Amino acid sequence: GRTIGVLALQGDVAEHVRAVEALGETAVPVRRERELARIDGLILPGGESSTIEKLLRRLELFAPLRDALRGGLPAYGSCAGMILLAEEIQDAITGQTGLGGIPMTVRRNAFGRQVDSFEADLVAPALTGDPAPIRAVFIRAPWVERVGEGVEVLARLPDGGPAAGRIVAIRAGVLMATSFHPEVSGDLRVHREFARLVRGVG
Ligand code: GLN
């Protein structure tokens, strides 16, 4: 098995740790720079992206993590984690830059007050590895406004629901991101695809 870190500064860390362990991989919480050297991949959980960024800076983990991502560390960002991995953030708070890594623009809190939180069934075989729909839970989620070169769109919101056609899952090399939270539904397929990506490296 591989060792998958879960950035453990704020947000739904425990759910990701459980998902990784349920797949038979080793999960380790990451709070310190030295822990980056021990992991084969990193999950950036949902939570509040600007809070996580502030904590990253306070713990002097921001630059080391940015460098590790530039150096090819596989990573999967869910919701706030997606925002942290974006090269460009719309509706960021002042001073919020994100770590970058994925050439895309995300819009923070994109769905607005009317649809603060909602669920949708997505058919996204490129994301889940099979054609069975995945129940996607969106909580004050971002969406992807624009993808740059080398970014593969894995899922869009279906017709007939909120924000139809919006991009909500992408992959760019060894980096993955979803607007929603697969870790809350007990569906392990997204984490399995990430574990597969991690295993494919080195
Ligand atoms: N709105 C949050 C942010 O800006 C993301 C919400 C989430 O991760 N569930 O970071």
Q: Is 79 a catalytic residue?
A: yes
CATH number of the domain at 149, please.
Answer: 3.40.50.880
C-alpha 25 to ligand 1 mean position (Å): 26
Asked whether residue 202 carries a pLDDT value surpassing 60, the answer given is: no
- Residue 168 pLDDT level (bands cut at 50, 70, 90): very high
Asked whether residue 4 carries a pLDDT value surpassing 90, the answer given is: yes
Q: What mean pLDDT value characterizes the chain?
A: 96
DSSP sequence for 62-128: HHHHHHHHHTT--EEEETHHHHHHEEEEETPPTT------EEEEEETTTTTGGGSEEEEEE--HHHH
Q: Is 15 a catalytic residue?
A: no
Domain extent at residue 193: 3-199
- Nearest ligand 1 atom to the CA of 78 is 8
Over pLDDT 70: what percentage of the chain?
99
State if residue 140 touches ligand 1 by the CB under 6 angstroms criterion.
Answer: yes
**Once rounded to an integer, what is the mean pLDDT over residues 72-97?**
98
Residue 114 confidence (pLDDT): 66
Asked whether residue 1 carries a pLDDT value surpassing 90, the answer given is: no
- Residue 115 pLDDT level (bands cut at 50, 70, 90): confident
Token digits for 140? Answer: 């004050």
Whole-prediction pTM value?
0.97
C-alpha 1 to ligand 1 mean position (Å): 30
- Residue 52 pLDDT level (bands cut at 50, 70, 90): very high
- Residue 201 pLDDT level (bands cut at 50, 70, 90): confident
- Which is the catalytic residue, given 79, 87, 191, 193? 79
Residue 184 confidence (pLDDT): 86
> Hey, CA dihedral for 30, 32, 38, 41, is it positive or negative?
positive
Count Cβ neighbours within 10 Å for each residue of 28-59 and write b for 16 or more, e otherwise. Answer: bebeebebbeebbbbbbbbbbbbebbbbbeee
User: How many residues does the structure list for the chain?
Assistant: 202
Asked whether residue 136 carries a pLDDT value surpassing 80, the answer given is: yes
How many domains would you assign to the chain?
1
- Nearest ligand 1 atom to the CA of 139 is 9
Residue 116 confidence (pLDDT): 83
Q: Is 183 a catalytic residue?
A: yes
- Residue 40 pLDDT level (bands cut at 50, 70, 90): very high
